[in-house]
């Protein structure tokens, strides 16, 4: 009897520890997000979005060039990355379904989603920035696209594989060529999934800093020239947070809040989409 | 009849074009990985020829003026922060996975899982900034002096807590890294715990095991490979993390035994010095570091994926 009590006590202790670790995990999340909310949301004001940078040490100013730059860099990355990822995933799930090379590519993409982003930055520096002779927004977009492609490819593959095979067979039986089956039937029934993949890939790159450090670099002025260095929100946050001025820190917190809120909202939307689409139809 | 023929010809052509275009897109990934490997090797050739491999990774001198470069300090920093972060994160992550799969009520399971996964979507620059402005002061004011007063007093072990606690050090960096890799280890561990067959668990309860005994003797051994796979994935994630560490580690090319000393890691060195490198050999040495980082993270991730794949097949 004593032994039994001891075993139960040990069990209770470990259950307590395990519960405690879960609380610890949630604690970090709440800790970080609440700091962002307190320090960031409180210091958001209109001038953050509409005012230009001011020289170091002067009061006022905003981050307009960084917001515009971020929008341009990410949009171009999306324009390059999404189509390539989508088509590549289509090949792996459709034409290459049973081939060994497609399986190999799928595995490689899985690994590629975790390549250190700073390595991608050095690579783009070597193949784009160096031959061009200077830093450019395009190089930054290219770096982000590289990070995005494997993510989009894997999600596309998984989503297309969820489409039942007999749906395709039904179309084949009517004499429909494969490309039409893909574009008009498979894509249509996997639409929510593909949208989720797109949102997730954007969320994945929107907060990246390391690959932009030496590709799009930075710019103290508003620039829309793709072949020149361009300020991005993340690199600006890094510069401002590491700087010695208090008003820089406040602005960095505010910008961080904006970017994190954007990414978390995207992530949560994509999760709701998946839940809504795939729990309804089994 | 003739018209039909041309139509099916155009279908075939369009089908071929689609096949070709999608295949081209799919091969982008292997081509990319290969070109990263080739271009980084090409760029680091100068440094490789001058410093060799073993000399480069064992020399801690990093002197842009005399043009002598050795990667030992950032490599040491990378290894220490990665290992420490795994030591912090692994028990917590496995505890969370146990909680989610075995302990918590079904209703809140999804919420807790989802919340932990949200940790992975917070951008690394936010972790870094939060680390610098929030965590570092807490570490230097409370936690580090406390550690010095307790463990720091012990002989031998004490050396790892020597120095002035400033909060910008290996310990803080590792702690932040550990928070970042918790979601990755948790999600792999959770998936492999869920593969444990229910009848195995039920029969253990049937012979009168307590909850902990079931977890310790059935669940954990059954999902061992997956769990280790998750931990290795965590290592692969931590090793290449840049921004979170760049804020709280300083950038010091020195091998310090104390965890309370500033140091550097490979990604941090790259982030801080890439745009400043003013000579060919300096640049080449940085590319050399990037190559070492790329190859080691790729190998580690491959091992992790292999192990995770193996558990899924068993289940």
Could you tell me if residue B280 is inside a domain?
yes
Closest CA to B291 of B83, A213, B283: B283
Tokens read off for B274: 């890439």
Interface test with B, best of A27, A119, A130 (most B CBs within 10 A): A119
Taking a C-beta distance cutoff of 8 angstroms, is the pair A200, A155 a contact? yes
- What gap in Å lies between CA A106 and CA A209, rounded to an integer? 26
Return all residues near B108 (Cβ < 8 A) that are at least 6 apart.
none
Could you tell me if residue B76 is inside a domain?
yes
Within chain A, residue ranges assigned H as helices are: 2-35, 46-50, 64-93, 100-112, 117-124, 130-132, 137-161, 165-173, 178-180, 187-189, 191-206, 210-213, 233-242, 246-280
* Contact: A22, B271; criterion CB under 8 Å: no
State the smallest CA–CA distance between residue A105 and chain B in angstroms: 7
The per-residue pLDDT for B98 is: 95
State the smallest CA–CA distance between residue B154 and chain A in angstroms: 27
Could you tell me if residue B100 is inside a domain?
yes
The per-residue pLDDT for A75 is: 96
Number of domains in chain B: 1
ipTM of the complex model? 0.93
For chain A, which residues score pLDDT lower than 50? 282
The per-residue pLDDT for A282 is: 44
State the smallest CA–CA distance between residue A50 and chain B in angstroms: 23
- Say if A177 is an interface residue toward chain B (CB within 8 Å): yes
- What gap in Å lies between CA A190 and CA A172, rounded to an integer? 18
- Say if B299 is an interface residue toward chain A (CB within 8 Å): no
Cα Rg of chain A (Å, integer): 24
State the smallest CA–CA distance between residue B40 and chain A in angstroms: 7
Question: Which residue bears the tokens 């992975």?
Answer: B120
Tokens read off for B79: 């290894």
Could you tell me if residue B89 is inside a domain?
yes
Question: Which residue bears the tokens 């290449």?
Answer: B240
Interface test with A, best of B42, B121, B176 (most A CBs within 10 A): B121
Please give the sequence-ordered ranges of beta strands (E in DSSP) within chain B, or none if there are none.
62-63, 68-69
Q: Could you tell me the residue range of the domain that residue B257 belongs to?
A: 52-314
The per-residue pLDDT for A281 is: 52
Per DSSP, B63 falls in state E
CA distances from residue B226 to B188, B189, B308 in whole angstroms, order as listed = 7, 6, 5
The CATH code of the domain that includes B254 is 1.10.3720.10
* Contact: B210, A8; criterion CB under 8 Å: yes
- Say if A160 is an interface residue toward chain B (CB within 8 Å): no
Residues 197-256 of B with CB under 8 A from A: 210-213, 215-216, 233, 236-237, 239-243, 246-247
- What gap in Å lies between CA A62 and CA A74, rounded to an integer? 20
For chain B, which residues score pLDDT lower than 50? 1-2, 315
Could you tell me if residue B3 is inside a domain?
no
Tokens read off for A192: 């929510």
The per-residue pLDDT for B312 is: 72
Could you tell me if residue B179 is inside a domain?
yes
Nearest by CB to residue A114, choosing from B32, B127, B236, is: B236
Interface test with A, best of B19, B20, B24, B26 (most A CBs within 10 A): B26
């Amino acid at each position: 009897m004593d032994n039994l009590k001891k075993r139960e006590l040990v069990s209770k202790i470990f259950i307590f520890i395990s519960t405690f670790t879960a609380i610890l995990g949630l604690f970090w999340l709440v800790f970080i997000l609440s700091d962002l909310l307190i320090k960031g949301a409180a210091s958001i004001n209109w001038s953050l979005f509409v005012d230009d940078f001011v020289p170091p040490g002067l009061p006022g100013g905003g981050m307009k060039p960084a917001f515009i730059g971020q929008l341009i860099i990410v949009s171009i990355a999306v324009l390059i990355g999404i189509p390539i990822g989508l088509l590549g995933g289509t090949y792996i799930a459709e034409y290459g379904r049973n081939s060994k090379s497609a399986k190999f590519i799928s595995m490689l993409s899985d690994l590629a989603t975790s390549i250190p982003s700073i390595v991608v930055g050095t690579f783009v520096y070597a193949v784009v920035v160096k031959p061009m002779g200077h830093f450019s927004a395009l190089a930054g977009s290219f770096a982000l696209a590289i990070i995005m492609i494997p993510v989009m490819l894997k999600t596309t593959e998984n989503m297309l594989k969820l489409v039942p095979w007999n749906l395709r067979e039904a179309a084949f039986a009517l004499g429909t060529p494969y490309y039409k089956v893909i574009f008009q039937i498979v894509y249509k029934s996997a639409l929510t999934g593909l949208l989720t993949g797109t949102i997730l890939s954007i969320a994945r790159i929107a907060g990246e800093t390391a690959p932009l450090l030496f590709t799009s670099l930075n710019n103290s002025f508003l620039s829309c020239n793709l072949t020149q260095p361009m300020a991005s929100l993340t690199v600006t946050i890094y510069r401002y947070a590491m700087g010695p001025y208090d008003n820089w820190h406040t602005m960095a917190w505010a910008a961080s809040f904006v970017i994190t809120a954007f990414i978390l909202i995207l992530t949560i939307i994509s999760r709701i989409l998946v839940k809504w689409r795939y729990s309804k139809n089994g | 009849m003739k018209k039909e023929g041309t139509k099916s010809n155009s279908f075939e052509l369009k089908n071929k074009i689609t096949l070709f275009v999608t295949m081209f897109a799919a091969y982008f990934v292997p081509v990319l990985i290969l070109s990263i490997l080739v271009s980084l090797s090409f760029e680091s050739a100068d440094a490789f020829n001058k410093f060799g491999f073993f000399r480069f990774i064992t020399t801690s001198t990093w002197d842009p003026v005399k043009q002598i470069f050795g990667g030992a300090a950032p490599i040491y920093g990378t290894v220490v922060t990665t290992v420490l972060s795994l030591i912090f994160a692994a028990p917590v992550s496995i505890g969370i996975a146990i909680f989610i799969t075995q302990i918590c009520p079904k209703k809140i399971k999804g919420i807790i899982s989802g919340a932990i996964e949200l940790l992975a979507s917070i951008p690394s620059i936010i972790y870094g900034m939060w680390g610098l402005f929030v965590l570092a002061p807490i570490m230097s004011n409370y936690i580090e002096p406390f550690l010095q007063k307790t463990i720091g007093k012990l002989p031998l072990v004490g050396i790892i807590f020597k120095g002035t606690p400033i909060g910008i050090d290996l310990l803080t960096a590792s702690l932040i890294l550990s928070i970042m890799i918790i979601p990755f280890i948790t999600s792999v561990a959770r998936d492999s715990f869920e593969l444990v067959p229910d009848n195995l668990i039920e029969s253990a309860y049937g012979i009168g095991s307590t909850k902990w005994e079931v977890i310790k003797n059935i669940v954990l051994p059954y999902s061992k490979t997956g769990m280790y796979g998750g931990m290795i994935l965590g290592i692969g994630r931590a090793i290449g993390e840049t921004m979170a560490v760049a804020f709280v580690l300083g950038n010091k090319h020195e091998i310090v035994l104390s965890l309370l000393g500033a140091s550097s890691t490979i990604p941090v060195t790259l982030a801080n010095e890439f745009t400043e490198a003013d000579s060919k050999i300096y640049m080449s040495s940085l590319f050399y570091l990037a190559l070492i980082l790329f190859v080691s993270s790729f190998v580690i991730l491959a091992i992790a994926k292999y192990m995770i794949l193996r558990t899924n097949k068993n289940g």
